[in-house]
């Protein structure tokens, strides 16, 4: 039985960010024993029961592998942000069509569709987050403007990996 390891959000985010930068591999390219381990860690990450061994494994092979499972659409709340340095090391600008997502590898492009008005935009994941309750993605100011969500600040969206 694994002893639960309660890594802080900031620590876990840095493990994911460093791993995501180092390796970009599709899950089906991995040997089956690694596919199984990645799936197990994905489940533990979602239920907040990561073990110390899981964290070391994720940092070793690249946490991008944890997010390399089958791409599926997500629906939830989005917010927007601007400025500052991102987890990928880039400087965020108001003109860039970028976003923060908890698990998708850096460089992944996703189609974000505003459920309320049908407007959509393609953004590139270059940051980690959102860590606020109930949100699934934070988009840049440029993307928020395109989605027509500046006035409201948040919107219900659908995310489709491209």
Rounded to whole angstroms, the maximal C-alpha distance in the chain is 50
Average pLDDT over residues 44-61: 64
What is the chain's Cα-based Rg? 16
Specify whether the backbone of 121 is left (phi greater than 0), alpha (psi in -120 to 50) or beta: beta
Q: Cα 106 from chain centroid? A: 8
Q: Is the pLDDT of residue 7 over 50?
A: no
Q: Does 57 score more than 60 pLDDT? A: yes
Q: Who wins on pLDDT, 131 or 156?
A: 156
Residue 87 has pLDDT above 90, yes or no: no
Confidence of residue 49 (pLDDT cuts 50, 70, 90): low
**Does residue 33 carry a pLDDT above 70?**
no
Number of CB atoms found within 10 A of residue 13's CB = 18
d(CA 110, CA 98): 10
Domain 74-161 has CATH 3.30.300.30: no
**Cβ neighbours for 143, distance < 8 A, ≥ 6 positions apart:** 80, 97, 98, 99, 112, 121, 123
CA gap 156, 82 in Å, rounded: 19
The pLDDT of residue 2 is: 41
Report the range out of 43-47, 68-72, 91-95 with the highest average pLDDT.
91-95
- The pLDDT score that the predictor gives to residue 78 is 96
Angle between the 9-22 and 52-61 helix axes, to the nearest 10 degrees?
Answer: 30
| pLDDT at site 133 | 79
State residue 150's pLDDT score. 95
Q: What is the mean pLDDT of residues 143-157?
A: 96
- What are residue 157's DSSP bridge partners? 76, 114
Please list the residue range(s) of the chain that carry CATH number 2.40.40.10.
Answer: 74-161
Give start and end residues of each alpha helix (H) in the chain: 9-22, 32-46, 52-61, 141-147
CA-CA-CA-CA torsion for 75, 77, 83, 86, nearest 10 degrees? -40
Overall average pLDDT of the 98-123 stretch: 93
Which one is predicted more confidently, 117 or 17?
117
Strands 109-114 and 154-161: antiparallel
CB proximity list for 144: less than 8 A, separation 6 or greater: 80, 150
What's the predicted TM-score (pTM) here? 0.59
Q: Round the average pLDDT of the chain to a whole number and report it.
A: 75
Contact 148, 117 (CB under 8 A): yes
């Amino acid at each position: 039985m694994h002893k639960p390891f309660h890594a802080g959000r900031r620590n876990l985010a840095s493990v994911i960010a460093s791993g995501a930068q180092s390796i970009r591999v599709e899950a089906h390219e991995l040997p089956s024993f690694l596919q199984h381990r990645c799936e197990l860690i994905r489940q533990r990450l979602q239920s907040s029961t990561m073990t110390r061994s899981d964290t070391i494994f994720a940092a070793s092979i690249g946490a991008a592998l944890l997010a390399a499972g089958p791409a599926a659409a997500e629906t939830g709340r989005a917010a927007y942000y601007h400025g500052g340095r991102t987890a990928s090391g880039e400087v965020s600008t108001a003109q860039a069509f970028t976003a923060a997502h908890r698990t998708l590898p850096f460089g992944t492009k996703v189609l974000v569709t505003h459920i309320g008005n049908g407007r959509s935009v393609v953004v590139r994941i270059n940051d980690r987050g959102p860590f606020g309750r109930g949100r699934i993605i934070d988009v840049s100011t440029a993307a928020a403007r395109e989605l027509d969500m500046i006035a409201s600040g948040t919107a219900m969206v659908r995310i489709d990996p491209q």
